[in-house]
Amino acid sequence: VQLQAYGGGLVRRGGSLRLSCAASGRSFSSYAVGWFRRAPGKEREFVATISGSGGNIYYADFVEGRFTISRDNAKNMVYLQMNDLGPEDTAVYYCAAGSAGTVHAWEYYDWGQGTQVTVSS
């Protein structure tokens, strides 16, 4: 499956953004989709994942209720609503597809290009 992430931008502390991940290919609903991010000078880290049906969702601890992942299989889309953003959320955000929704990047085999999120203080 091919993925394309978009929706990033520059926001102020406390602001919100909704990232979108558009997928092409068959059987999109059979794939789990995860969001990861890489901040400058840091390792890539897991953000959130959602199963193919949307019934199983898991977030990284640092999300703390601020982000919501969702999907619309009819549109081949996955979203990441991010609220109460802080400078620590500044990163390139990536979406990725895999057979199982896990926290491990190596278990996802299709990746989209990243979208930059910058949060000013």
**What does the pLDDT read at residue 25?**
81
| pLDDT at position 101 | 87
Nearest to 92 by CA among 26, 16, 50, 41: 41
pLDDT confidence of residue 48: 98
- Residue 54, sorted as left (phi over 0), alpha (psi -120 to 50) or beta, turns out to be left
Determine the pLDDT at residue 7: 98
Q: Return per-residue pLDDT of the chain as tens, 121 residues.
A: 899 999 999 999 999 999 999 999 878 999 999 999 999 999 999 999 999 999 999 999 999 899 999 999 999 999 999 999 999 999 999 999 999 889 999 999 999 999 999 999 9
User: What is the model's pLDDT at position 26?
Assistant: 79
> Whole-angstrom Cα distance, residue 85 to residue 47?
13
Residue 102: predicted pLDDT: 93
